[in-house]
Chains A and B, each alone.
Chain A
Amino acid sequence: MAPGTAESEAAPGKDHAIVMKAITKQFPGVLANDHVDFFVKRGEIHALVGENGAGKSTLVNQLYGFHLPDDGKIFINGEEVFFRSPKDAIRKNIGMVHQHFMLVDNQTVTENVILGSEINLPVLKGFLDRKKARNTLVSLSKQYGLVVNPDAFIEDIPVGMQQRVEIIKTLYRGADILIFDEPTAVLTPQETEELFKVMRLLKEGGKTIVFITHKLNEVMAITDRVTVMRLGKVTGRVDTKDTNPRQLANMMVGREVLLRVEKKEHEPGDLLLEVNKLSVHDNRGLQAVKDVSLSVKEGEIVGIAGVAGNGQSELVEAITGLRKVGSGKIRMSGVDITDLSTWEIREIGLNHVPEDRLKRGLITKYPVYFNSILGKHKDEPFSKDGFLMLKNIRDYAKDLVERYDVRPRNINQLGGNLSGGNQQKLIVARELDDKPRPSRCVVVAQPTRGLDIGAIEFIHKTLISMRDQGIGILLVSMELDEIFSLSDRIIVIYEGEIMGEVKPDEITKEEVGLMMAGQRKAEEAVKWSDER
């Protein structure tokens, strides 16, 4: 057993807000929760950590009445409960801030908050009392410093505010126990700080908080105690002050993990990708990328840091030929590739690990062996005289899943049935592998989104080793940690404009965070205004 389990959990009782005992939940083919004990004291911030598929979501979904446990007991404040639906959990003052916000885009903040627990007019029963609802919301928002605009539509407000709406929703329903499911995944460092302030305020107000996360530095920053899960079981239970990220990571993965990738000094070679004063429009016809210039050399990783939706997707699509360029030039090894087709761009040696792996990275209904040659399917030896050479394809796929550790090793598996981590390994393998024609530069977008520590470690190692072999990598990521640990140079983008270029060892994350929020680097600002 991992360290920490020995800690005495003597008879969880009155001072525990949540006691889940021997919870077991079986899904077809997976034992998602195997006799899980989960205890949370009243008034604490309790981290629930674990890799994807460890069973964290399943556990809290049972706590929130979304799923029924097959076996086991749940006690809330010492009283045994049976939740058949979220309604029952809400009645016991449990609230959940979902990872994917459960908000209705075309309704206002107020409407979203009251939905399902509406206030009726005193005389005309059955009609909404909109004024009272709004007042309740405003007072809650003041009490906990949750700044929102009650009359704005959800689709018009930023992600950080949407999250605050989610929090107010739970408070409006009188929640004493709040479950936060990976709340920081969508936030900038500054927004994360804001969220932590709110969480501390909630704790002071006597609320109990369950905080699900992957990010161990966040666990250390805000929580009182930690429960670690792996493969459906609890592998550790520790006080935060008695542990460290390394120990937590080991409990999560079950082996030693490298939290920071080791990498050699980089030795950039010849210029590969060159983007010159590029402007691109988004689907609504608005300018999403404004006058962006950047370059990637052989053997370096250039990271693009920014909050989601600041033009990164459009930039990547323009470079890889998926979106028409508004103005500007893109060159690859001196060859103009502006508005060439994706096929032509790939032939020149510029490949792409797309941000949406299910939509663009894989064909979910194709087996692994076809997925492993997508985009190379017209090349020898995979195809000859217009026919696919199945034997060559299968041999190649077998070799590829072996070398890149795609599990299971079954090349007949459908792409959609692989886990997220293995899908991503397969895509990275295909895009970075030098057969049948060499890959020289790769645009990698969100390579580890939604992946767990083990898979992230593998992807990071692979990217670094490719860089060491001389491949140029343009890395786009919302994860600032990832940008910092992989990149040789960092370019910060905000509303489609470059805020500045920095070296990861010469700047702090906080400074980059400010740039991500639109603050231009001081000397860059001067230079920029000179150019104008």
Chain B
Amino acid sequence: MNWLEAILAILVNPIFYQLTLLAATPLIFASLGGVFSEITGVVNIALEGIMLMAAFNSVVFTYLTGNAWFGVLMAVIIGVGFTWFHAWASIRWAANQIVSAAALIIIAQGVTGFLMIPIFGHPGQTDFIGRVSPVRLEFIREVPFVGRIFGSLSPFVYMAFIAVAVTWILLYRTPLGLRMRAVGENPEAADTLGISVRKIRYFGVLMSGAMASLAGAFLSTGELGRFIEMMTHGRGFIALAAMIIGNWNPVGALGASLLFGASEAMNLQLQSSTIITVSANVKPLFNVIPFIVTLVVVGGFVGKTRPPAASGVPYEKESKN
């Protein structure tokens, strides 16, 4: 019963919960990005690419200016510009949304890899460049257990939760949100009421780019303080799964992201657990835990969720009827 013992030991350790929050943060941002885009009817599988681009850019601008927050800001601005290509192709030209998003992923992988040498002088990963300093809550640090979780956390974690609340209010309590949801469900209906499907969709896709950029910036300047090639490591796709399991609802996406975050934390803690003895050759296998959780949960839940009806369908005014 070593395994059960190991898992129990992990569950009573506050580190597990802190790791869960940290692992969930990029997923929360990125899945909100997915929600923003798909709720207006544009599928954005490019989250992975936008994240990678932002992770790289925030390190580059932190390196150039020495200010990590400035790096994050630039990552978001460039990320939105980068996402604009996807918006433009899929809205203006009614292109296949999978193809144009896939192109962004490949471009991001190519560009970040290529620019490593001219900027940092070597491929692979950068040195420690600098990171956004954590928020220290002294009064909580004294509290047992909880203090170990929340005493010192990256501000991105708090921003992620705030972003969930803001997104929910925007979507369900404002006219703009009502229009976004209408455009993703029945763009023709919105059009007949004088709502610009094009503008709403641009807004959704570009917001998606901003959110995915925050996710990417967190991975580098928010957490590690350095950029590693391919460091997003499939999180953009897990975020899409979180969006689906969360039924395209920001709060649902938060819940699903926390679940995936927990499975990632469990993976990390199991690998470093001293209770179980597993050969070092086998341990990397634990890395697949988050993906297996994805498969199982998506397989079990996906039939019960309901995507926006017009998601992935380009809107073109019929020329004749």
Q: Do A and B come from one complex?
A: yes
Chain A interface residues toward B at CB < 8 A: 27-28, 30, 32, 57-58, 61, 64, 66, 85-88, 90, 96, 98, 101-107, 111-112, 114-118, 120, 126-128, 169
> What's the least CB distance linking A422 to chain B, in Å?
17
Chain A residues near B182: list those with CB within 8 A. Answer: 104, 107, 115-116
Q: Are A32 and B192 in contact (CB under 8 A)?
A: no
Interface set of B (CB-CB < 8 Å, partner A): 173-176, 178-179, 181-182, 185-186, 188-195, 306, 309, 317, 319-321
Question: Nearest CB to that of A114 among chain B residues?
Answer: B178
Residues in A with CB closer than 8 Å to B189 are: 101-104, 112, 115
**Subset of 9 A-B contacts with CB under 8 Å:** A90-B194, A104-B181, A104-B182, A105-B185, A107-B182, A114-B178, A116-B190, A116-B195, A118-B178
Which residues of B sit under 8 angstroms from A66, Cβ to Cβ? 192, 317
| Cα–Cα, bound, A103→B175 (Å) | 16
Q: Are A102 and B186 in contact (CB under 8 A)?
A: yes
The closest CB in chain A to the CB of B193 belongs to A116
Q: Are A107 and B320 in contact (CB under 8 A)?
A: no
Contacts of B309 in A (CB 8 A): 105-106
Chain A residues closer than 8 Å to B173, beta-carbon distance = 127-128
Contact of A128 (CB < 8 Å), options: B175, B181, B185, B317: B175
Closest-by-CB residue of B relative to A120 is B175
Q: Which residues of chain B are near A126, meaning CB under 8 Å?
A: 174-176
Given contacts A126-B174, A126-B175, A127-B174, contact A107 B192 (CB under 8 A): no
Kindly list chain A residues whose C-beta atoms are within 8 Å of the C-beta of B185: 104-107
Report the separation of the CA atoms of residues A127 and B174 in the bound assembly, to the nearest whole angstrom: 4
B175 neighbours in A (Cβ, 8 Å): 118, 120, 126, 128
Prevailing SS type, chain B contact patch: helix
Tell me which residues across on chain B come within 8 A of A112, comparing CB atoms.
189
Residue of A nearest to B172 (CB): A128
Find chain B residues with CB under 8 A from A96 CB.
192
**Which A residues are CB-close (under 8 A) to B195?**
115-116
Nearest CB of B to A178, in Å: 14
| CB closest residue in chain A, given B308 | A106
How far is the CB of B38 from the nearest CB of chain A, in Å? 13
Q: Are B193 and A117 in contact (CB under 8 A)?
A: yes
Neighbouring A residues of B190 by C-beta, 8 Å: 104, 115-116
In the assembly, what is the distance between CA of A87 and CA of B190, in Å?
11
Indicate if the CB atoms of B319 and A86 lie closer than 8 Å.
Answer: no
Residue of B nearest to A102 (CB): B189
- Interface contacts beyond A64-B192, A66-B317, A116-B194: sample of 20 additional A-B pairs, CB < 8 Å, sorted by A: A27-B320, A28-B320, A57-B321, A58-B320, A85-B194, A87-B194, A102-B188, A103-B186, A104-B182, A105-B186, A106-B181, A106-B309, A107-B181, A107-B185, A111-B178, A115-B182, A116-B190, A118-B175, A127-B173, A128-B178
Residue of A58, A86, A128 near B192 (CB, 8 A) is A86
Closest to A65 in B: B194
* Closest 5 pairs (CB-CB, A-B): A87-B194, A116-B193, A102-B189, A118-B175, A27-B320
> What residues on A are CB-neighbors of B320 within 8 Å?
27-28, 30, 32, 58
**Most A-side CB within 10 Å, residue of B191, B192, B306:** B192
Q: Which residue of B has the minimal Cβ distance to A99?
A: B321
Shortest Cβ distance from residue B83 to the other chain A in the assembled complex, whole angstroms: 24
